[in-house]
């Protein structure tokens, strides 16, 4: 059983929802980024998503775009991200999901990327801009390396595509609660529960709900329907606000605060 599967099995046994956190690798700099990832685990993140900085992050809103710019300016790359993950994996057992766009993977070459990710201690990979119908050239090397391929589900995804994503995916499905780019919102999308229910009707995989979640109340509301809540932009905001001093401590306390919703 993979780390991701073990985590969701534990959450089911405990009757709890999970907290999945997202940060951009190398933000605000590689050394601080390592400490931030360790702080996420210490704060209680059940799964950590690590974003590979990319020059054209079309799925991301301004908060994560700026984090990507900071990381790229600090010299972070895909190989640097994998090195960072390896350092984290040497210290924690928390599952790690790599978030990336297709271009860096294709540039490295999919099989080489999958093997390197496995060696680094990555557990799953979500390639943001690769549709499920065209996923096999990138998915097959991940599966061969023992990594979970994870797919995005949006409010406009058809039931057929949800089933296809479930059949080709592993670990969990990531349901985004609203259309558009990432970003903090005051409240969950009103139809988020309906989306999760529709996804669950088509899959036996756990469902994580993200986009716009930033408070313990949001986390609790998301996990009333989904198996886990994903928090990204709000954590990246904490990093931005504290990047010159104390970002890891601020992130640790913020994650503990989010977990209080569970």
Residues involved in catalysis = 49, 60
163 alpha carbon, distance to own chain's centre: 21
Residue with tokens 């400490």: 35
Question: CA dist 219 to 56, 64, 236, 255, Å?
Answer: 29, 20, 17, 11
Residue with tokens 């297709």: 102
Return the closest-CA partner of residue 144 out of 173, 120, 110.
110
Question: CA dist 73 to 29, 70, 76, Å?
Answer: 9, 5, 7
Going 123 to 139 to 59 to 199, the CA torsion angle's sign is negative
Return the closest-CA partner of residue 256 out of 43, 48, 49.
43
Residue 107, exposed/middle/buried by CB under 10 A (0-12, 13-18, 19+)? Answer: exposed
Cα distance between the two ends of the chain = 25
CB 88 within 8 A of CB 39: no
């Amino acid at each position: 059983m993979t780390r991701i599967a073990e985590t969701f099995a534990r959450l089911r046994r405990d009757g709890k929802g999970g907290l999945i956190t997202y940060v951009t690798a190398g933000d605000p700099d590689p050394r601080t980024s390592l400490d931030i990832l360790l702080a996420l685990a210490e704060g209680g993140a059940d799964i950590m998503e690590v974003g590979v900085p990319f020059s054209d992050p079309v799925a991301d809103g301004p908060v994560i775009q700026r984090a990507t710019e900071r990381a790229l300016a600090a010299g972070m790359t895909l190989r640097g991200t994998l090195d960072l993950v390896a350092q984290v994996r040497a210290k924690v057992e928390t599952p790690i999901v790599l978030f990336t766009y297709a271009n860096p993977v294709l540039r490295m070459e999919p099989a080489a990327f999958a093997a390197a990710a496995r060696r680094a201690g990555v557990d799953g990979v979500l390639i943001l801009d690769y549709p499920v119908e065209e996923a096999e050239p990138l998915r097959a090397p991940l599966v061969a390396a023992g990594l979970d391929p994870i797919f995005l589900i949006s409010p406009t995804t058809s039931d057929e595509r949800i089933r296809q994503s479930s059949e080709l995916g592993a670990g969990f499905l990531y349901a985004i609660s609203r259309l558009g780019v990432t970003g903090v919102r005051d409240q969950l999308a009103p139809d988020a529960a309906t989306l999760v229910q529709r996804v669950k009707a088509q899959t036996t995989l756990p469902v994580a709900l993200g986009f716009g979640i930033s408070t313990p109340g949001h986390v609790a509301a998301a996990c009333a329907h989904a198996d886990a809540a994903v928090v990204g932009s709000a954590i990246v905001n904490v990093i931005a606000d504290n990047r010159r001093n104390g970002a890891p401590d601020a992130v640790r306390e913020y994650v503990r605060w989010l977990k209080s919703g569970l």
